[in-house]
Structure 1
Amino acid sequence: MCCFGVYFLSQTEWVQKDYLYPYPYRETVEHYADIYGVDSSLAAGVIQAESRFRADVQSHRGAVGLMQLMPDTAEWIAGQMGDQRYSVVNLSDPEVNIRYGIWYLAVLQKEFDGNDILALAAYNAGRGNVQSWMRLYGWRQDFSDVEKIPYAETREYVLRVLKYQKKYEDLYERSSTGVLTASIENR
């Protein structure tokens, strides 16, 4: 009975929003997602998978911030965006990290013709690896079989982000104006 109660409680919308799938920095995510043409739920899914919305996270490989950007990648992004104020210290700033990360996600989506699976795989494993897999395995831009991604870590990452994207879509619906609005909570 206890386990059923915990499960039931964890399925309530307010528990999911407050504890399992929170959405801090939501306005910033939505703002840059709108500017760069990225689904805000996808961006939220990436942030949830990368950092669980903790701005101060740094990986053992050196990735920084909410969207876990590598300093070299962020420096390249800043150059492409014409941002002369780039510094590694700025990557801990949620606004900068989200702006750079969503811009990069948009670039990857464009490179892979809007294919979220390939873009997410490239976000995790690198563009060069995904391009190599496409050549090696004959993948086309309509690739959809996540199970064929040769790196287990990347395969699991893509599946996790897509799951989180669906959760953020379900919990934070889009209104007809295109702005995300919280669905009515039954507390």
Structure 2
Amino acid sequence: MGVSFKYWDDCVDPKDMEAMWKEPEVRTEWIDAGETQGQKVHLSRDPDGQPYLTQIEMKAVADIVIHRHFDSKLDPEMICAIAELESDRQPLAIRYEKKIKDTTIGIMQLLPKTAEWLSGEHGYQSYQVQGIPDLLFRPFVSVYFGAAYLEWLSNFEGKERSEEFVVRAYKGGTKKATHKSTLPYWKRYLSVKESLPYRKICDRPSPSKAPKSPTSPCSPRSGSYVYWDSRVSPEDMEEMSNHPAMSKGWAPFKEKREKMRFALDGEKRPYLSRAELKAIAEIIVSKYFSTRGIKPVVLCALAEMVSRCILDGDGSRPGLMGIDYSTAFWLYMEVGYRAYRVDYVEDLTKPFVSMYFGAAYYAWLSEYEGRERTPQFVVQAYFAGPKKVNLQETGPLWLKFEQALSNFEERARDQESCSIL
């Protein structure tokens, strides 16, 4: 694939950039990030360097497209939830579909021939995509044709269709809209859609849009402390208190253990010390993965690489282990890892929950496609996905992993906090 985007201006028309700047939340987010109107705006990038839209940006694109082209008749949250499931909001996402031997592309993961069909036979011609499939990598174009397809499905065969029919048909085609194979996708969609308002708050907190729930785990950015008992169940808190490293490490604190506070980094974000992280990894492995051969220090090294031990995650991936909501929900629903529930993305900012699903994903990767995999394969697959592993390019990533792993060896030093890799 020869398409590459560094700036929003690389993949958006000037009129669309102007519309984005007029969105109050987008404007605030961009200015807070140091962007200036009239100059190129950087796309956000995940730890692997892939561009993605923030949830605020994604919502803005959906709102603009629906208002401009669909008379505001479609639900923008439907589009946002599908984009979350299909591509994690990555405009350059691609996926080869074995059953149809074709490739879906873009934020909405459409087949180029579907976009051409919608344009040629159904009059959706705001963007001319015939013979130019790469246009679907552009966010506004992908969302436009994704919305067009949803609109067509909503009136399939001249009948007004339910949201469930439309979403399941989007995934599997109209013939699979009521088939059991698309039911898990519908369930994931409902959970993701329900979580969208909370995710928006977690992305960029605002005093005027504070979470209504007093137990919302979105951590404050104002320097307020976050308490362990707000993120850890009483059972897990008991396990931590009884862990040998913690019974010693927490002893100097005068406060009661039920009011233990997470430490804050220089940006006032709660994080775990290496000793705390290692204790959680050891508890999770001993309780749920003792027969899988997973070493707690390996999970700790992954956590240090992906989140720098920051409780809410460092960047686009939530939580200590960087497991996104759709992956955790899939592990829970389809693979059978159900020791912890994941009803909302915020559940993944709870350290034991994130560690559990990180270990579950590591275990699944270790036996990907029924074969025992090497540590190099599993580490690279953890970050890039198993279909994107190229062992000839593991050098820098593997060296970083070995460096992080050395921080958790049985030594007295380096027990205070995580390092910045």
Check the 8 A contact 1:172/1:183 in 2, yes or no. Answer: no
Aligned mates of 1:128, 1:121 — CA distance in 2: 10
Check the 8 A contact 1:32/1:99 in 2, yes or no. Answer: yes
Aligned mates of 1:84, 1:106 — CA distance in 2: 16
Q: Which of the numbers 21, 26, 49 marks the counterpart of 2:59? A: 26
Task: Evaluate the alpha carbon distance shift between residue 109 and residue 183 of structure 1 in structure 2; reply closer, same or farther with a 3 A threshold.
Answer: farther
Aligned mates of 1:33, 1:83 — CA distance in 2: 12
**TM-aligned CA deviation for residue 100 of structure 1:** 0.6
Structure 1 residue 161 corresponds to structure 2 residue 189: yes
Structure 1 residue 39 corresponds to structure 2 residue 65: no
* Matching residue's letter, 2:174: R
What are the residue-to-residue correspondences of 1:78-97 with 2, within 5 Å?
A: 78-79=119-120, 80=122, 81-83=124-126, 85-86=128-129, 87-97=132-142
Aligned mates of 1:33, 1:114 — CA distance in 2: 19
Aligned mates of 2:127, 2:79 — CA distance in 1: 25
- 1:52 alignment partner in structure 2: 88
Which has the larger share of helix? 1
Q: Which of the numbers 80, 101, 109 marks the counterpart of 2:154? A: 109
SS in 2 for 1:66: coil
Check the 8 A contact 1:109/1:119 in 2, yes or no. Answer: yes
Deviations 1:113-140 (A, max 9, x none): 241110011101102333xx5xxxxxxx
Higher Cα Rg: structure 1 or 2? 2
Check the 8 A contact 1:64/1:91 in 2, yes or no. Answer: yes
Task: Evaluate the alpha carbon distance shift between residue 98 and residue 165 of structure 1 in structure 2; reply closer, same or farther with a 3 A threshold.
Answer: same
* Matching residue's letter, 2:108: M
Highest relative contact order (Cα 8 Å, sep 6+), 1 or 2?
Answer: 1
- 2:369 alignment partner in structure 1: none
Calculate the TM-score normalised by the size of structure 1: 0.66
- Calculate percent identity across the aligned residue pairs: 20
SS in 2 for 1:25: helix
Structure 1: where are the runs of 5+ without partners? 1-18, 134-148, 174-181
Farther-moved stretch of structure 1 (53-62 vs 75-84): 75-84
Aligned mates of 2:140, 2:148 — CA distance in 1: 12
Aligned mates of 1:115, 1:170 — CA distance in 2: 25
SS in 2 for 1:63: strand
**TM-aligned CA deviation for residue 51 of structure 1:** 0.3
Check the 8 A contact 2:58/2:80 in 1, yes or no. Answer: no
Aligned mates of 2:65, 2:155 — CA distance in 1: 16
- 2:108 alignment partner in structure 1: 67
Structure 2: where are the runs of 5+ without partners? 1-45, 47-52, 98-102, 202-207, 212-219, 222-421
Deviations 1:26-77 (A, max 9, x none): 3211122334211111110000000000000100220000000011111112
Aligned mates of 1:110, 1:56 — CA distance in 2: 30
**TM-aligned CA deviation for residue 84 of structure 1:** 6.7
- The size of the alignment, in residue pairs, is 141
Aligned mates of 2:62, 2:126 — CA distance in 1: 19
Check the 8 A contact 2:59/2:77 in 1, yes or no. Answer: no
Check the 8 A contact 2:93/2:106 in 1, yes or no. Answer: yes
* Matching residue's letter, 2:172: A
- 1:4 alignment partner in structure 2: none
- 2:144 alignment partner in structure 1: 99
